[in-house]
Each structure stands twice: as C-alpha cells, then as structure tokens.
Structure 1
C-alpha cells in the first residue's frame, strides 16, 4: 500500500514537472550559438577576445525567404574597469552566453514575445520567419573600432557587425523578400545608427524596415543636470571604443566636435531614409534612472511594486520630462510608425509579457500596431495622451498624492 502511494506521489510530481517544462519550452528555446566562420581571425571578437556569436531559428517553409533580426541590448561600458567587469558575463564574452550552473553570469537568451514561435505568445506573422539574435558583447552598440587590444580588452563592435552580417548575407539574407531589423535598449541604438547602412546591403527588391524598442533615449536639453548622465556616458563610450567612424555621417557632419551626440537616436532618425517604427515610453525605467536620478526611479519603482501613492513633486518632474520626450520625437510622416505608451518598464518586444492587454494606446495593442505598420495595413502614429505613468500589466495608472 505504501509503495503504491509513493508511486502515485512520484507520478504526480513527474506530471507536474513535465507540465512546467512544457510551459517553459513554450517560452524559452535552447538554441545553440553560431560563431561566424573565421570570426577570431577577422578580429570579430567580444571584449574578452572570445568569438562573436549569433543564434538562428529557421523559419517555417512559407517564411524562409523572410528574416527578423533582433539586436540584443545590454547597456554600454564607458571605462576600462566597466568593460573588464563585463568579460565575466554574457555582455562581454561569448563563453558566458549559454546557461552554465557553475557560473553565475552565464545565461540563455529568452526568446520571448516577438521572437517566439508559439502563436499564443507571438500572434504576429513574424513567428514564421527566420529569426536571428545578434548577441551583444562589445559594449558599444556595435560601433567600436580599435585595432590593438587595450589592457587585454578588444573594442571590435564594428567587426562583429560586419562578420555576422556578411555570413547572414551569404546564407540567403542578401536576396530576402522581407527583412525586419529590430533591437531593444542598446540594441535599439544600434538599429537607429545602422538602419540605413544595413538597408544598402540588401537587394533592391527586399522590403526592409526597422523597429526601435525601448532605446529612444533623449538628450534632456532643458536641464543640464538631467542631460549629464547620457551625455557623459556617450562621450566616454565613443572615445574609449573609437566609435565615431560608425556613427551616421549625416549626423556627425552637423555635430562636428561633439560626435557622441549622434548616439542619441533623436539626432539620427530625423535624417533616416528607411522607414522606422519607434516603440517607447516617456517613463522608460532605464532613462528615468540615468536622466532623472535614482531617487525618482526608486520612488516610481516603489509605487509600482507596492501600489503606494507617488509624491506629487516627483510626479511633476516626470510629467515635465514627458513633454521633453514628446518634443524630441521626429516629425510625423506616413512611412514611419510611432507607438508611445506610458508603461513603466524597459523594452517590450522580446519579453514574455509584451502583448499584455494593458499595453494599448487608443485601444490598439503594440503587437498589432507593429504588424499593421510593417505590412502597410495602417499608418501608426499613436501617443498616450494621459500624462500618468501606467502599470501595463495591471492595466492601470499610478496615482499621485
């Protein structure tokens, strides 16, 4: 009797475990890294000298001529010390890009949201396409171009971009029917910087558009203290990584002695030829922390997580910044798409909660807006007119005192 009972308990546990694994499998894939041929010989290496890498999910038979490319984000390193620290995790070394229980910094990429093949998670047409994740390990949004290593660090973002892109072109990207270049955070900055450059690599018959997610960080010109965070960061990144040559000339020619301003998407997008979709929140958590400071960020985080009232003075600062953000958006034109929600968070399209019901503007959800825009079904110019911060998962706005 006892044996039967124990067997029943173990069977129940096994069934539960399988259910968890099936649920997890619907969200996370175990996709091996692909290293570009001769990456190390070409100098296309991460900060620690390990070879650059990408991940590839083959599309369905009807989607193999179409490519969704996602540029991984992960901030920047602006000093030797910061770049050195990144070599101990996936942001500076391909050795740490796949899960290893013995190393805390190792991780698998979570193929959430728009990058998932499950129709319940990703209802868009893009799930049937070839999906590429260009892994980020150079700390400069793929702009670094230093010939010799410095303190055993390699600043080779440009070569990584070129090595992976050239390999993908040889594997069918060159003659693709449709291509969508996307990215989040620092990956979004890459998209803004390289969108037109990438477009020129493709066939003239390829339908090509770009999407930026959670990285339209603005230059807060109205307040020098607010501007200091990103200006200082971008200045140091461009100097350390020798990035100027990879910044769009349409911008650097105007900025002249301040080329690092061209890391701000607002100074690049205005001259962009390729259609681009801007998905962003004026209350982006990363921008809030860098631009408005830790006190504001943690106050909003507390209000969001603990459902407490946000002090009015802090809310006033946030609303003022929201107006600056809206002013920094490019002029509206039919070929571009804009979807500005008020979500407190950072990036959307590659997360497991990207299509939550609260993620709507004028009753249009983000994934539908993106699809309709790419496939020319609708022009998209949607901005949440309510000036309050939104908890998009709970589908409600944060109150003030």
Structure 2
C-alpha cells in the first residue's frame, strides 16, 4: 500500500509533541525469552527506511488460547530530532538505525506482560512492539543531506504503512479484536494514525486506540515564551517535503481529538514529568536554582511552584473536556510525576500501582476496552492528594 497522506493540519499537530520524551525500554531480568526483532521485507524498495536507510523493525510475540485472534500493536516513543545534525547523530543509535535493534524482554513489562495476574485482559494476545527510528512520530516523508554528504531519510509515514502492511499479512488482517497503542512520541503517533489504522479492518472487528503520555500541551514556559515553536518549525521543515507545502499554523491537541471517530483511551499524568521538565522548564528559559530542584522531582517544589504546576494540570483537564461528549472514549488522568505508564508493571498493575476510584490503570483500560463499565473517565485530584503515586520512583 502506498503511503497515505496525513492532512496538513493533523501533521502540524504533531508539533505539540516534544523534542525528546523519555523512551521507555523493555529491558531487565525476566524469566521468559526475549522477543527477536523482525525487519520489514522489501523496505528499501518502498522507501520505508530508518534515518540511516536500514529497514525498520518490530517485535512480534504470538498470542495463545482465547487470545490467538486478538492483537496489541504498540508504537515506540523516543522524542524528535529537529536538525540535520541531530537526526544524523541518531543514525548511530537504535533511534535511527535497525543495526542497533536487539531482542526485547516483554515479560514483566506492563501491557506486554504474559502473566495473567498482572495483565489479565491482554496477557495472551498477539503483541507487537514497533521500533521508532524516524525521529518524528511515524509521520514524515522527506530526506536531507548530512554534512558528510550522506542521505538522512525522514520516512516515518512509509515505515508505519510498511509495518502495518506486513503485520496484516502475518495475521493482523484476521484479528477479531485489536488495540492500537503507543507511548509519548508513539502515543501522539497513535492519535494521528488512529482512524487510518481502524479503517483497515471490517466494521465487525473491535478496533480501539490507546494513547499513553501522547497528549502534549501548548503552554508558555516560565519565561513567558512558547520556546518550543522554533523547534516545531524545524521539524516541519525537515520532515515534510517542499511539495507538501505544510503551512506553519498552531492548534491544540483538543482540536485533533475532536475529529477522531475511532474509540480512544487517553492515559496521561496531569503533572507529566517530561512536559514539566521540557515544556514548562526548558533549559532555554534559564530556570532558577529552586526551579531546577523542582524540575528534577516534584517533591522538591514549594507551594508557589505547585500552583504553577496546577495551572498546567488545569489546562490539560480543560482541553480533555471534549472527551466528555464521546461516550465510547475513556481516560485516566492521574496526579503522579511520571511519563509513560503502560510499559512498567509498577505503574500498570502491581499492588502498589497508582489508583483512581480504587482501580489501577490495567483495570480501567480493560473495563473500557471490553465495555465492562460505562463512562470510564477518571480524573485525579490535585497533587499531592493521591498517596498511591508515592510508590512510583522519580523519573
């Protein structure tokens, strides 16, 4: 299938994303075998390549039992690169080349866990972890020239198309129920591609989308500047071809989610640690020493600083009010100082995981997906009201 064209307004809303969200890795000791990486066949011929021109990859673990017809497809996060120098540098890492992609350990990692106790609704599903190597949330389609004369490929949209196409051939096309997910930059990609992904399946197939830490805010930093807009403009110039003529406009994430027809679940912290550290308090804003301490750990913030963070929370809650009119949507907005919560057992479903209404994230997401509860929209009170957040380590 040829790469689809994202509407300019939607691609621009990618620019509400950040330059380098935390990239959760699925590493660490666990009893089960790691899942090998699969490289997309014929990727170079399709132009669906990583920043360095190598084929993109994904990890597929087959489902079993009553989960053999169900699929979880997850888009990895990992920030953005906004200059040729930065993107060229990524080519020497897993974020820009499949040469560095190693097997991943799914066991013990949140929504990928194969332990029914910790992941009761999705433990035996087919699970796919799509690697992120394009630098712009699986959405760009252009190329550039590095300083050494080599080509840097911005082919995220083609990667998305090629990976999903290959998965359809491997059984995804026959799925009976599907959950399309992503975290951080991958969470934003999930929002952007949600309707396109859903449209690939017959109407009787249950397809829903789940964005973790992908709802980025357009707010001023503490110096009163929207310091990320210069970064956003660089991403536009790099990741889209001249022929696309993408205009530089602005618009909040809430306008994007208004247009999505597929049922979606939004998981976010109202005190998202990455957004506080990089949108509210970027280095360019020259935060004072007391702010640097607060930026590192919300427990170090004084009452005046907490009031500023509360304003960020209120902006997010206000922007998400558009979800209230979507009966088949859900959300879990906690007050924990964290970023990305689906990939770790400690935040997804452990006995000490964050809870809202006495339910952890795994329970709320499962209730939403399977329709076990009506109106699954949970919003936490202001920090530091929720003691279950204390079990999470500082980011």
TM norm structure 2: 0.81
Cα 1:124–1:321 shift into 2, 3 Å? same
Alpha-carbon distance in 2 for matches of 1:224, 1:200: 43
Other structure's SS at 1:92 match:
coil
> Contact 2:143/2:151 (CA < 8 Å) preserved in 1?
no
> Contact 1:143/1:243 (CA < 8 Å) preserved in 2?
no
Alpha-carbon distance in 1 for matches of 2:294, 2:387: 11
Structural RMSD (CA): 2.9
Per the alignment, residue 258 of structure 1 pairs with 248
Looking at secondary structure, tell me which structure has more helix per residue. 1
Per the alignment, residue 371 of structure 2 pairs with 376
User: Which structure 1 residue ranges, 5 or more long, are not aligned?
Assistant: 1-22, 100-107, 247-251
> Contact 2:277/2:295 (CA < 8 Å) preserved in 1?
no
1:58 to 62, 65, 79: 62
Other structure's SS at 1:211 match:
strand
2:312 to 301, 321, 330: 321
1:115 to 107, 112, 115: 112
Which contiguous aligned blocks of 4+ residues in structure 1 show a shift greater than 6 angstroms?
A: 221-224, 243-246
Which has the higher relative contact order, 1 or 2, with Cα contacts under 8 A spaced 6 or more apart?
A: 2
Query: Residues 125-162 of structure 1, C-alpha deviation per residue, up to 9 Å, x if partnerless?
Result: 21111000111000010111116766421111111111
> Contact 1:342/1:384 (CA < 8 Å) preserved in 2?
yes
Per the alignment, residue 17 of structure 2 pairs with none
Per the alignment, residue 206 of structure 1 pairs with 205
Per the alignment, residue 367 of structure 1 pairs with 362
Alpha-carbon distance in 2 for matches of 1:174, 1:349: 25
1:300 to 294, 300, 312: 294
TM norm structure 1: 0.80
Per the alignment, residue 249 of structure 1 pairs with none
Report whether the alignment pairs 1:286 with 2:274: yes
Cα 1:268–1:320 shift into 2, 3 Å? same
Number of corresponding residues: 352
> Contact 1:339/1:366 (CA < 8 Å) preserved in 2?
yes
Query: Residues 80-134 of structure 1, C-alpha deviation per residue, up to 9 Å, x if partnerless?
Result: 11111211211111111117xxxxxxxx4665100111224x3222111100011
Q: Which entry has the higher C-alpha Rg, 1 or 2?
A: 1
1:2-401 equivalences in 2 (<5 Å): 24-26=29-31, 29-98=33-102, 108=104, 112-120=109-117, 122-146=118-142, 151-220=150-219, 225=224, 227-229=226-228, 231-242=229-240, 257-259=247-249, 261=250, 265-294=253-282, 295=287, 298-300=292-294, 302-303=296-297, 309-329=300-320, 330-332=322-324, 333-354=326-347, 355-356=349-350, 357-378=352-373, 379-388=375-384, 392=388, 394-395=390-391
Deviation at 1:358, TM superposition (A): 4.3
Alpha-carbon distance in 2 for matches of 1:173, 1:56: 11
Other structure's SS at 2:331 match:
strand
Cα 1:144–1:257 shift into 2, 3 Å? closer
Other structure's SS at 1:143 match:
coil
